[in-house]
Homo-oligomer: A and B are copies of this chain.
């Protein structure tokens, strides 16, 4: 059995890791930390876990964590980058769900997060954990930076077009929408039910922190710098991200449906829907899966790609477990066979 440690387990990515790992045949969570809830049973905070765990939150302790086979950081940004160097030195392998190691360039990171990066010396060894792009590097990595939720959906949707050079990389558009769990488990007025239920809005239009991460990944695929106009929206629902992606074709496209089906043919967690079928967030709810649809409306020169994921699964904790499986040489799909909860 793989011994798993989780740092910062009280948030939604933490409880989702616990949900997924509860039925993982080779993983055992031996340690979950929280300063605020230290001593409290996890199933007291999250009664859905009753009967699945006999575990309490504990104070973070390097020695205990380093003794694990893998350590997940399910923390806000600014935690991992302070603890990871010591854990790496102690021999730990780490999957970081936060933003701390996603951006290769420390200066760019600082510009968007408003503070210096605490461990830029570690950045070169951080592997960006999008398995569909970096599977081999992940297998041998000691530190994996899990992609953000929006970036997962946008990159999986646009990479085939950019890698093939089919679209103008200077005028990419992502109109994305997320459920409220993406904002985390924080007691802010902006997130209380009466403020977000029964409504829809754009936010972060002037600049969202996921923008540089997405442009970095898309640029790698395109082999040149790209420009994306990224507008996230808030949906009145708990889980799910849907990205509607627009790009201008450089020339009459060939069979894009076939391109996508071929590109993702061997990917266990990317599902290209049949021609004319478009993804819905409800068909991937609770599942580690990205569903994609492709359309060229009116046969003009704009292609539309739609991508749906569960932000807490393929957009966070599921992808983290997928990375763990790859790092530890386990079958990539192990413990990730949950069927989307529909209806």
Contact = CB atoms under 8 A, between A and B. Distances in A.
Interface residues of A, number: 90
Interface stretch (A15-23, A78-86, A95-103, A140-148): A15-23
Copies in the complex: 4
Interface of A: 12, 15, 18-19, 22-23, 46-52, 171, 173, 175, 177, 179-181, 185-203, 205-207, 211, 227, 229-231, 233, 235-240, 242, 244, 246, 248, 271, 273, 276-287, 291, 293, 295, 297-298, 300-302, 304, 306, 308, 337-343
Given A194-B12, A200-B280, A201-B279, A48 B188 contact: no
A51 B264 CA distance: 14
B205 A295 contact: yes
Nearest to A236: B237
Nearest to A168: B171
B339 A48 contact: yes
Q: Which 4 A-B pairs have the closest CB atoms?
A: A48-B340, A199-B282, A175-B175, A194-B343
25 contacts: A22-B337, A23-B337, A23-B339, A52-B339, A171-B171, A173-B173, A175-B244, A177-B200, A181-B194, A185-B195, A186-B189, A191-B193, A193-B236, A198-B240, A199-B240, A199-B280, A199-B285, A200-B235, A203-B278, A205-B306, A235-B235, A236-B236, A238-B343, A246-B246, A286-B286
A341 B197 contact: no
Contacts of A198: 198, 237-240, 282, 285
A280 B198 CA distance: 10
A237 B197 contact: yes
B202 A341 contact: no
Identify the interface centre among A171, A190, A227: most chain B CB within 10 Å of its CB: A171
A47 B339 contact: no
A321 B15 CA distance: 27
A244 B175 CA distance: 8
Nearest to A300: B227
A237 B297 contact: no
A175 B302 CA distance: 13
Nearest to A227: B300
Contacts of A281: 199-201
A171 B203 contact: no
Contacts of A51: 271
A195 to B, nearest CB: 7
A207 B242 contact: no
A308 B234 CA distance: 14
A192 B283 CA distance: 16
